[in-house]
Structure 1
Amino acid sequence: MRNRGFEIVSDFKDKYINLPTRKTSKSAGYDIEAAEDKIIKAGQMAVIATGLKAYMQDDEYLGIHIRSSLAFKKNLNLVNSQGVIDADYYNNEDNEGHIMIGLINFGDEDVEITKGMRIAQAIFYKFLTIDDEKNVDTIRSGGFGSTGE
């Protein structure tokens, strides 16, 4: 049985995407690389493809965090501060669960993102639910606001 991990989405199978790895035995985060080149203009935001999807248990989510070197050295941050990838995002029919990283440039200079550059860290987390949880039967159809505004 598979518990959690990463796979390459279909559209990126032939694009030489590296699966995320931890850099040390005590690292919490798996480094995620950009799957494309992109310029993030000063004061602007951009969405960066990773070519990845993640599978996990139903009571887990994947937290996406900025790498500290990008925050301190390049003035970049995640558009939503922390990304949350739910278990049912995996293989959804809209985009196959492709993890996209929204970055914003708070600096005065444009920042070049290159394919293979480590742009985020992904950490798997367990979560809890309340005692009287209602049966939710909504089916996810995509990402970024796909379960409602």
Structure 2
Amino acid sequence: MKKRGFEVVSRYQQEDIRLPQRQTRAAAGYDLEASEDFVVPTIWRQPLAQVLGSYLHSALKRENFFEQAQKVLQPVLVPTGLKVYMPSQEVLLLVSRSSGPLKRGLVMPNAVGVIDADYYNNPHNEGEIFVQMLNFFPRDRVIHKGERICQGIFVNYLVTDQELKEARAPERQGGFGSSGLF
């Protein structure tokens, strides 16, 4: 009986995707890699500079500034080609590698990604894990296939007494970024 682990999603079955590994015996995190070459654009690209310049020179109204800045500052979703299975009261936390911000200018804007057990094999994307990233260095950053982009840490979680007494929560309806309930 399988308890927890990683699998390659079907669209990457022929792409030589490596399953995550811990780098040392005492490491908590499994290093996840990019499944393909991917560009993470700098947040300082030309459109943002134009938006900031217009705002500073009062040519852009405050509400328009935030609307325009939000369009430019969207994180990208870096594919891993992986899915994960685990018991129902576990979660896989995706956390930054320590070298990401310091050496490469890459951050996860959601700080910690949460992969629930019921995300596995969902019908929307087979449960493929994507890593949200922003690049705050001045140049675009190319992530190469096989480059380690984050760590995955398996964690048990607890539920409240009230939930244990009540009926179960609804089943997952959505794919990435949502339980589908909102």
Q: Give me the identity figure in percent.
A: 43
Question: For residue 42 of structure 2, what is the aligned residue in structure 1?
Answer: 42
**Shift, 1:142, TM fit:** 1.1
CA distance in 2, matches of 1:39, 1:54: 25
What is the TM-score normalised by the length of structure 2?
0.78
CA distance in 2, matches of 1:144, 1:137: 17
1:147 maps to amino acid: G
CA contact (8 A) 2:172 2:179 kept: no
**Shift, 1:70, TM fit:** 1.3
**Shift, 1:137, TM fit:** 2.0
2:175 aligned to which of 110, 134, 142? 142
1:68 maps to amino acid: S
Larger Rg: 2
Do residues 122 (structure 1) and 168 (structure 2) align?
Answer: no
What is the TM-score normalised by the length of structure 1?
0.95
CA distance in 2, matches of 1:50, 1:6: 11
| RMSD value, Cα | 1.2
The runs of 4+ residues in structure 1 deviating greater than 4 Å are none
Question: For residue 137 of structure 2, what is the aligned residue in structure 1?
Answer: 107
Change (3 A) 1:148 1:106: farther
**Shift, 1:64, TM fit:** 0.2
CA contact (8 A) 1:77 1:103 kept: yes
Give structure 2 stretches of 5+ with no counterpart: 44-72
Task: Tell me whether 35-44 or 53-62 shows the greater mean CA deviation.
Answer: 35-44
**Shift, 1:146, TM fit:** 3.7
Higher helix share: 2
Map 1:1-149 onto structure 2 (within 5 A): 1-43=1-43, 44=73, 45-133=75-163, 134=166, 135-149=168-182
Give structure 1 stretches of 5+ with no counterpart: none
Q: SS in structure 1 opposite 2:110?
A: coil
CA distance in 2, matches of 1:139, 1:42: 34
Q: SS in structure 1 opposite 2:180?
A: coil
Q: SS in structure 2 opposite 1:103?
A: strand
2:178 maps to amino acid: G
CA contact (8 A) 1:89 1:140 kept: no
